[in-house]
Every structure is written in C-alpha cells, then in structure tokens.
A and B are shown apart, each in its own frame.
Chain A
Amino acid sequence: MAEVVLENVEKRFGDVRAVAGIDLTIRDKEFVILVGPSGCGKTTTLRMIAGLEEVSGGDIKIAGRSVTHLPPRDRDIAMVFQSYALYPHMTVAKNMSFSLRLRGMPRDQVATRVRDVAAILGLSDHLDRKPRQLSGGQRQRVAVGAALCRQAGVLLFDEPLSNLDAKLRVHMRTELKRLHQSVQSTMVYVTHDQVEAMTMGDRIVIMNAGVICQVGTPLEVYDRPVSRFVAGFIGSPPMNFFEGELVPDGSGVALALPGDLRLSLPRPELASRAGRKVSFGIRPEHISVAQSGRPLSDLAWAAVASPARVPAVIEVVEPLGHRVVVTARGEAGTFQMETEIHAGVRQGDRVDLWFDMNRAYLFDGETEATL
C-alpha cells in the first residue's frame, strides 16, 4: 500500500510561488504522469514528495501516514533523477546496491536482488563497470535499476528519458511501462513531453503555473479538456485555435470568425451566450479535405453530422509516413490539419476544408474554460 496524497501543497521560493496549493491523490500502484510546460512546478512537486524540498504549506501523506516533516530516507521512496545521479566511483553493482548495503541487508541477499534487477534491465554484463564506461542509455538503466533495487513503495521519475536520443526514448518508454506492470510500486513520472504522458500513464496530471489544470486518463484529457490550455497542450500536432464570437443563428447559435466566416454550431444550449467572445478549437485530425470525409478512411468521419466548409490555401505539406501534416491558410487564420498521405494535397492548392463541428471545442474568451 503506497497511496500518495497531496493536500493543498504549496511551495514558495522567495516571492516565486512554484507550486500554488495543489490537491492530488495517487492511488496505490498507479502510474501517474505529471506533465506541463517547463517551469510549471513539476520537479518541485516531485521533490516535495521525495522530501528533498520542504513544503511551504499543506500536507503530504504516503500510505496513509503524514510524511510532511519526515526526512527523505523515512518516506519509502526511490527516485530516478533527470541527470541519472550515479555515484561515479562505484561500479554498476555497487551503485544499484548502495541503499541496500546502507540498510545492512545480508550480502547474499543484496547480490541476488542486484542480479535479478540487472537481468530485467539487461545490465547483467555490465555489473563491474563504472558509470563512465557506459553509454547514456545504459547509465539511464542503471539509474532505474538502482531505484528498482530498493523495492520502495513509491518510485519517482524526473524526466528520466529527456537525455536520450529519440529512438532510445521510444524504446525506454515501452520498457518502463512494462516494468510498471511487474513491480509493485506506485509510480509518479514527470515529463514535459505530452507524447510520453499520453503513452505511458494510467492517469495524467496536467500542470500549469504551479496549479493542476486537469487530472484524468489519457483519453479523458484528450476528449474532454477542461480548458484551452489543456486542449492546446495535449495532442500533436497541437489543436488549432481561432478567436471568434458567438452569434444568434435561428434558434441556435453560430460562430463568427474573422473573414466573415460563419460556422453553425450543433450546440443549441449555447444560445443564451450569443455575443460572447470565444476561442474556437479544432484538432488537426478533425479537419478533412472532402465533405464526405473521403478519401479519408476514418470511421469517425462517418458520424459527422455537420461538416463546416472552410476555404483555404495549402501552404506547407509535411509527410510523416502514412500521414501528412498540412499547414493551410484560410480567412480566419493559419491552421494545421492531418490527413492521409494519399489525400493528394499539394502546396499552393486552393481547396475547401471541412471542420468536423461535432469534434470542435469552444473556450470562454475570458476564463478559457471549456464551454
């Protein structure tokens, strides 16, 4: 049992409020991702859980016990640092077993534990090497191995993959996810990379400017972002935003965008808000080159009830393999869409693009909350 609970946790560095009173419950054995732009307070939050940073206010509980004023070693946590933090003078085996030896575990047990963990991480052949004799990826594994050896209730990761090259990063992502299924630890994983966040976690905690914006499963935060910030942060390429206004449209409401573009909205309940400034958001994958959705084979398109026509000029075409990212300019502004490589769009084409209004989002112009 290693549930982690943060109650109104706050951290000030002088006048800077790095973490501005957050509440969060991380369930036992859950894999939770803290994600947000650089400087939003993720590392600070993690370090407060670890006990490396004192809280300025609030309470932290691990496994039902308040640890707010306990030193790090009494919190039953292990941490993988962004910079790996290996002991340069110790071999891989000694690095991994340091905490066990400190706690006086018998030598044969230590050896067994190290051997088992090394086998899981593919480090068995490197146990006698020093960190400087290892590649970046291997060092990263040693850092993970050292944390696993502890068999701590909570494992903390601070951007552990950010120093690896792209290929290795994808590989380690899968590996860490697999590890989580085999170890009995609660994992808290910090990253600024929304792809990592979406692919790895059971739940994602999106932070911005020291506060939590939304907590949910990857699907929840993708489908139902609570604010413009979350909507823009999750998804790649990011969601397109247009500044517009709600205008009455018969019994319902329509969206007026710059360039005299009027898109009718399938949202009659917003009629009372006519006249308000809003941000209109639509993901690149919900824009299509044809009204019917063809030649897209997306099943989702079949359910489209109200495709809205937007004339545009294709400016850039970036093939990503079987998909292409297309940058287009319309009257309302520049936006990106994603389509099949065989859709046949070329730079300079004047085309009609179709927005799937059922998958569009509206955000309040002032509060930026999702409408």
Chain B
Amino acid sequence: MSSRGSLFWRRIRPSLLSYAGLAPFLAFALFPFYWMLITSLKADPNLYDLKRNPFWFSSVDGNTHQPYHKDIIVPASFSEGVIQWKVAQGAATTRSDSVQNPEPIAFIGAQKIESPVDGRLAAIRVPSGKIAHPNEVIGFIEVASPSLTHYRYLISTPFYRWLRVSLVTGLVVMLITLLLAVPAAYALARLDFRGNRMLGIVIFLTYLIPPTILFIPFSQFVGALKIDNTIWSLILTYPTFTVPFCTWLLMGFFRSVPKEIEERALLDGATRMQILRLVVIPVVLPGIITAAIFAFTLSFQEYVYGLTFISSTINRTLPVGITVDMVRGDVYFWGPLMAAAVLGSIPVVIVYALSLDYFISGMTTGAVK
C-alpha cells in the first residue's frame, strides 16, 4: 500500500507545479458549469434568497432564519368546505407537475389540493374535519435545498423529446459530415488538380456566411421540400456549416501526414483506397475524432435553424425547446432551465471523455526522421 502511495507521489510531484499553475484557469473555465449545477439543484426559495451565500446551498431563510417553507393556500376559485388531509404531518410531498396523475395531498369537499413543491408537510393549520376557506393558508411544506425538484419537473415538459431530437440530429449530421468531409479534405489536401487551392478557400468562405443570413433562403428550400417542422429540415441544413468547417479542419490534419509514407505505401503495392483506409485514416484518427466531435457539438448547440424550421413544441431541439418553453415572457424558470442545461451537456461531456485519449499531440511522431 505504502509503496503504491509513494509511487503515486513520485509520479505526481514533478507535475505538481504545473497543476498549480493551471488551477486558476481550470477554476475560471469550470465556474459557469459550477454555477449551472448548483442553480439546478437549489430549491426555488433558496435560489431567490438574496441574504444567503449564493455560491452554496442553504436550507434556512436568510431573513426569518426559519427553514424554507411554502404555504399551502386554498385556491381563490375554490368554494369553502370541510378539509380532509391525505398526507400525514411530517410526510414527504411530491410536486404535482412532475407526475402523470398527481396524488392530492388534501380534499376540500370534492376539490383536490395538490402539492406545489417537493418537500415535507411540516405543519397543518386547518386539520381534517374543519372548514377551509378560499385563500386560507391551511398548512405549509418545508422545502429542502439542495433538491432534485427541478429535474423532476422536467418530466412534465417535452425535455426528453427535445433531447432525443437533438441527439439523433447530432449523430446523423456527424455521420453525414464525416462521409463528406473526410474524402473532400483528403482530395483538397493531397490530390493535384486544377483549382484545388481555390476550392479550399471557397469552402472555407461558405462557412463564414452566418446562419442568421442563410436561414431565409434555406427556409424556402425547406418549405419547397415539405420537410418543415420535421427533423429532416435540420439533418439537411446542419451539414452546410459542419461540412465546410470539418473539411477545413481535416485538411490541416491530412497535410500533416508526411507525403513519404503515402508514397511508400504506393511502392508497397497499396491502391489509393487502401492507402486512405490502411495508412492515412489510422494516422489522422485523432483529427477525424476531433472533427466528429465538432460536427456533433455544432449541431447539438445550433439555434437559428432549429428555431425557424421547427414550429411545434414536440419536435424542437434541446436549446430551442429549453429557451422557448422555460422562459415565459420575461420570467426565467432558472431551476428547470439549468437542470435542462446540465442534462443537455452530459452527452457532450461523454463524447469528449470517450475521445480524450485520442487528443494526443504528435500523432505522427516517429513517421519521419
């Protein structure tokens, strides 16, 4: 055990100083993610409590020094009646909008009272059998923070639909992009033909035209093809920016492959396709994976086309869905917004983590010299 520990330290110690130097940058880069995460986990009263340390959670109100709680109020539209509690004092309650058929926590006559928040029924003001009036506070629920309440709320929204639309679009666009960009970049980087350089520049220029201009003519195409409001409108338009970008990116990678190793493969008896398959692609694999990740994340985060070509809530992409449905007027539902953002960034994190090993510099080390 101790030898293991000392080995660990022997490995780590030389890099300790560089880690120390990197730490401020890491903190700077990670702060938005940290903020997103704690916001998504804060119960609403904690989130809007200005008296508390905003960088961490609190379960106690900064003004009253009481645990956060939410009053249970009889809706004004109700008529007065005898109350019948369905939940015992001290028991957990579930917010009604996070389940299909919410269990009422109390009845007033035949009228259902549902829990507005996740928490614990802390006190009952009007016990069972007594008369409850409209607008009367009949009890209150203690709200815990941190809590997963915003994540539960997402179930009641089309969040998972949006996530699926975005994932499918991202993956399909990634595939299309690789199929087009890999051969295109190889040809532009390696094959000698007329207008080679010019074509490379033109491809890059198309990438520079902003989507905010392109969406107008594109919406005409999308309309003409009758694919508006479907995922196809996105799958066909996203490659217009991923393909030029990835082609340009891959050209650099292909250019970094020493010409000699391709010539040697030619002498060794390989055909052009074999050279591409057995030599060039394996050598630039890190580059291809980088391009794939860019294609995926560029589509995953795209906004303008997603907003304009998809009109129904159910077919939206994640970024559009979140911002359109979780911001009503000038009211931002920060908790669910951030919860959705956290969940939405997980696929990207996974993609990056899986490919981390390939981001090694000097992939062609040892090929020449």
Using a CB–CB distance below 8 Å, which chain A residues touch chain B? 50-52, 71-73, 77-79, 81, 83-89, 98-99, 102-103, 130-134, 136, 139, 146, 150, 163
The answer to whether A73 and B279 touch (CB under 8 A), given A132-B362, A132-B366, is: no
B364 partner residues in chain A, CB cutoff 8 A: 88
Contact A88 B270 (CB under 8 A): no
Contact B283 A83 (CB under 8 A): no
Closest Cβ of chain B to A296, distance in Å, is: 44
Stretch among B34-42, B228-236, B255-263 lining the A interface: B255-263
Q: Mark B261-287, 1 if CB is under 8 A from A, else 0.
A: 101111111100010001100110100
A130 partner residues in chain B, CB cutoff 8 A: 366
Contact A85 B366 (CB under 8 A): no
Docked pose: A153 CA to B139 CA in angstroms: 96
Closest Cβ of chain A to B146, distance in Å, is: 47
Contact A83 B265 (CB under 8 A): no
Q: Which of B261, B267, B285 meets A87, CB within 8 Å?
A: B261
Interface centre among A51, A72, A133 (most CB of B within 10 A): A72
Docked pose: A89 CA to B260 CA in angstroms: 15
Chain A residue at smallest Cβ distance from B367: A88
Contact A102 B258 (CB under 8 A): no
A81 partner residues in chain B, CB cutoff 8 A: 260, 263-264, 368
A134 partner residues in chain B, CB cutoff 8 A: 366
Docked pose: A298 CA to B355 CA in angstroms: 70
The answer to whether A73 and B368 touch (CB under 8 A), given A81-B263, A87-B283, is: no
A79 partner residues in chain B, CB cutoff 8 A: 264, 267
Query: B369 at interface (Cβ–Cβ under 8 A)?
Result: yes
Q: Which of B351-369 contact A (CB under 8 A)?
A: 362-369
Docked pose: A270 CA to B253 CA in angstroms: 65
A71 partner residues in chain B, CB cutoff 8 A: 266
Contact B283 A88 (CB under 8 A): yes
A146 partner residues in chain B, CB cutoff 8 A: 264, 268
A132 partner residues in chain B, CB cutoff 8 A: 362, 365-366
A89 partner residues in chain B, CB cutoff 8 A: 282-283, 285
B278 partner residues in chain A, CB cutoff 8 A: 98
Closest Cβ of chain A to B164, distance in Å, is: 36
The answer to whether A98 and B265 touch (CB under 8 A), given A81-B260, A89-B283, is: yes
Question: Using a Cβ cutoff of 8 Å, how many contacts connect chains A and B?
Answer: 85
The answer to whether A99 and B268 touch (CB under 8 A), given A85-B261, A88-B283, is: yes
Closest Cβ of chain B to A284, distance in Å, is: 35
A163 partner residues in chain B, CB cutoff 8 A: 369
Closest Cβ of chain A to B284, distance in Å, is: 10
A98 partner residues in chain B, CB cutoff 8 A: 265, 268, 278
Chain A residue at smallest Cβ distance from B274: A102
Contact A52 B266 (CB under 8 A): yes
Docked pose: A108 CA to B232 CA in angstroms: 52
Closest Cβ of chain B to A111, distance in Å, is: 18
Interface centre among B265, B267, B269, B362 (most CB of A within 10 A): B267
Chain B residue at smallest Cβ distance from A142: B366
Offer 8 A-B interface pairs, CB within 8 angstroms, sorted by A: A79-B264, A84-B369, A85-B260, A85-B263, A87-B283, A88-B283, A88-B363, A134-B366
Contact A87 B269 (CB under 8 A): no
Chain B residue at smallest Cβ distance from A90: B282
Contact B362 A85 (CB under 8 A): no
Closest Cβ of chain B to A84, distance in Å, is: 6
Q: Apart from A71-B266, A85-B258, A99-B268, what 14 extra A-B contacts exist at CB < 8 Å? A: A52-B263, A52-B266, A83-B258, A83-B260, A85-B261, A85-B368, A86-B366, A88-B261, A88-B363, A102-B270, A131-B366, A132-B365, A139-B369, A146-B264
Chain B residue at smallest Cβ distance from A103: B269
Closest Cβ of chain A to B178, distance in Å, is: 19
Docked pose: A73 CA to B274 CA in angstroms: 13
Contact B266 A72 (CB under 8 A): yes
Q: Which of A86, A102, A139 meets B261, CB within 8 Å?
A: A86
The answer to whether A86 and B367 touch (CB under 8 A), given A79-B264, A98-B265, is: yes
Contact A50 B268 (CB under 8 A): no
Contact A50 B267 (CB under 8 A): yes
Q: Mark B225-262, 1 if CB is under 8 A from A, else 0.
A: 00000000000000000000000000000000010110
Interface centre among B258, B266, B268, B368 (most CB of A within 10 A): B268
Docked pose: A52 CA to B259 CA in angstroms: 11
Docked pose: A89 CA to B367 CA in angstroms: 9
Chain B residue at smallest Cβ distance from A152: B267
Docked pose: A87 CA to B258 CA in angstroms: 10
Chain B residue at smallest Cβ distance from A50: B267
Q: Which of B197-230 contact A (CB under 8 A)?
A: none
B285 partner residues in chain A, CB cutoff 8 A: 89
Closest Cβ of chain B to A291, distance in Å, is: 52
A133 partner residues in chain B, CB cutoff 8 A: 366
A52 partner residues in chain B, CB cutoff 8 A: 263, 266-267
Chain A residue at smallest Cβ distance from B271: A73
